[in-house]
Amino acid sequence: MALLKKVNDIEFYFVPNQHWVVSAFYPDYKDLEFLLDFTTADMSAGSCTVNGIQQFIENEDWTEQRTKYKKWMSDVFEQLGMPIQSVVERQPETPTDLSTRAWTVNYFPGGWQAGHFHSTDRAGQQNRRFGTSVMMFDRIEPTRKNLFNGCNYVVLQGNNGYTYDHKFHPEPGKVIMMDDRVWHGAYPTDENRRVLVWDFDINESN
């Protein structure tokens, strides 16, 4: 696997073409549980979510919590020595671009997510990279019949053609952050499983 370094409980995965993944624990995840209200409209149609409810979270719904979250992200990147100066809100690329919002997913038993990545407009991005984060809220244990029960997975592709995959077992507060080009998804879960997804822009140092 492409594990480059581990600092305290932070794991940093990297391949030579600069695809990266970071795994860390956000201590204040309970401050964000109020966002996991799935009583309003479901927008999972047309997404990669199967057998689950997905909905957008407006920026103004979690301004204070997001400010704290961004500061924590920047601290994680600094501990790893990554060339990221700050984490900021994504700027829309088109008038109908919805990627500037966060969204939540509640997977029902048997729910899963197809492999995908968030960088969809390569020409419009003009080589501008951004990041994706997935925060977990539930502990889902592996079983004999389902060893990867509810795991999020990532696939990094090196410039030599090799691919490196890793599974992250769901735990409350675990956050997976990754380059927007990294393929990722979720294995089927035997239980309800909730996540918060947020794409963010990064300011890189030279």
Q: Judge whether residue 21 has pLDDT over 70.
A: yes
CATH number of the domain to which 62 belongs: 2.60.120
| 3-class secondary structure, 17 | coil
| Residues in a beta bridge with 168 | 152
Report if residue 81 sits inside a domain.
yes
Report if residue 101 sits inside a domain.
no
Give the model's confidence band at 171: pLDDT under 50 very low, under 70 low, under 90 confident, else very high. Answer: very high
CA dist 82 and 92 (Å) reads 25
Report if residue 103 sits inside a domain.
no
Looking at residue 186, its pLDDT comes to 96
Stated pTM of the model: 0.91
Report if residue 100 sits inside a domain.
no
Reported as a single tens digit per residue, the pLDDT across 71-112 is 999 999 999 999 888 899 887 766 666 666 899 999 999 999
Report if residue 38 sits inside a domain.
yes
Alpha helices in the chain (DSSP H): 63-80, 122-125
Looking at residue 101, its pLDDT comes to 81
User: Pairing mode, if any, of strands 183-186 and 152-157?
Assistant: antiparallel
Report if residue 153 sits inside a domain.
yes
Alpha helices in 81-108 (DSSP H): none
Number of domains in the chain: 1
Q: Is 110 left (phi over 0), alpha (psi -120 to 50) or beta?
A: left
How much is the mean pLDDT over the chain?
A: 88
The amino acid at residue 94 is T
Domain containing 160 equals 3-94+108-204
CA dist 155 and 166 (Å) reads 7
Report if residue 159 sits inside a domain.
yes
| Nearest residue to 21 via CA among 174, 172, 150, 125 | 174
Looking at residue 1, its pLDDT comes to 52
Report if residue 99 sits inside a domain.
no
